Amino acid sequence: MSRMNLCKYLLFSALFAVLMGLFSVAHVTAQGAAKAQSNSFEFVFLTDIHIRPDMNAPIGFQMAIDEVNRLNPDFVLTGGDLIFDALRGNQQRSDSLFTLYKNMSKGFNMPVYHCLGNHDLFAIYEESPEGENHPDYKYGMFERYLGETYYSFNYKGWHFIVLNSLDVTEDKRYKGFVHGEQLQWLKNDLKEVDNTTPVVVVTHIPFISTWKFVNGGSGTRTVENADEVFALFENYNLKLVLQGHIHWKEEGFVNDWFHFITGGSIAGNAWKGRRHNTREGFFYIKVNDAVLSWEYVDHGWEKKRLKLAE
Ligand SMILES: [Fe+2]
């Protein structure tokens, strides 16, 4: 090739690359604009992360974050038990875990809505060196790092409510309970919601579960006053209740009224493998006008964990 022809070739190649770049930016922008205008949207429900610095947990959580970013939903809802854990009141460790969680969750390319789990309560156990006067006690540390423990927001005509389903017993254990102050807040929140607006509720401790019927055992795995919460939704278009805590994967449909999903977990059995023989993963939920659909996404942690253990 002559020197002149080589120059022409290089110039043409550079021009072609610039044009292709512009085309692909325009294509992505058009896709974004179409998504913004449509009533359809997607979100993920990702629960029981139990982040810790060991057990290769940061590798596993990062794999989930990468998979969520690849799916590119509009936002992320978490289902609580974000860290492992703050219950025993070790200030330094609890701070480092919330810092780790907060920093890692910045890796999501979309907004993240955080939910409180029992393991995120600070210093509530009997053996804790800290007491009720500590500013981080119970909900305090979660609030300091991540904000309110219950709140709501609207998205494309849907109303999302994230609840705090935890309280502390007199003998210093946690219990599934939606406290009175929050019930009053919920009543007021719903006053602003039209009874045709589809509503999604997130709770760490399940309101409803098949767990005890399938698994047996003693103790409750559900919210004590779930009926009081449901009573507030009686005349509303409740579409979906998203639940965490038991690392149990289930779904159900109640009275032509609402679906419930318990969302498996990211941590499995304390990062050592499957819990209840359910793979680590999260729910990818699509909203197409008023129709919901979902799938459980395995982000590949089991394979990776086994490889790391070799
Ligand atoms: Fe939990």
173 lies in the same domain as 301: yes
State the DSSP code for 138.
B
190 lies in the same domain as 51: yes
**C-alpha–C-alpha distance, residues 88 and 46, integer Å:** 25
13 lies in the same domain as 129: no
Per-residue confidence in pLDDT tens, the chain, 310 aa: 555 565 465 555 555 555 555 555 555 555 556 666 678 999 999 999 999 999 999 999 999 999 999 999 999 999 999 999 999 999 999 999 999 999 999 999 999 999 999 999 999 999 999 999 999 999 999 999 999 999 999 999 999 999 999 999 999 999 999 999 999 999 999 999 999 999 999 999 999 999 999 988 777 799 999 999 999 999 999 999 999 999 999 999 999 999 999 999 999 999 999 999 999 999 999 999 889 999 999 999 999 999 999 9
137 lies in the same domain as 30: no
84 lies in the same domain as 122: yes
**C-alpha–C-alpha distance, residues 140 and 122, integer Å:** 7
Distance from residue 44's CA to the centre of ligand 1 (Å) = 18
Distance from residue 267's CA to the centre of ligand 1 (Å) = 11
Distance from residue 252's CA to the centre of ligand 1 (Å) = 20
**C-alpha–C-alpha distance, residues 77 and 88, integer Å:** 26
213 lies in the same domain as 110: yes
Instruction: Output the CA–CA distances (angstroms, integers) from residue 262 to 153, 191, 296, in the order listed.
Output: 21, 27, 11
| Predicted TM-score (pTM) of this structure | 0.89
55 lies in the same domain as 124: yes
Give the range of the structural domain holding residue 8, as residue numbers without chain letter. 1-37
Number of domains comprising the chain: 2
Residues 106/112/116/119 CA torsion (nearest 10 deg): -40
* pLDDT value, residue 208: 96
Distance from residue 235's CA to the centre of ligand 1 (Å) = 30
280 lies in the same domain as 261: yes
Distance from residue 49's CA to the centre of ligand 1 (Å) = 10
19 lies in the same domain as 48: no
| End-to-end alpha carbon distance in the chain | 54
89 lies in the same domain as 196: yes
186 lies in the same domain as 222: yes
Residues contacting residue 161 through CB under 8 Å, at least 6 positions apart: 150, 151, 152, 186, 189, 199, 200, 201, 202
CATH code (residue 85): 3.60.21.10
80 lies in the same domain as 138: yes
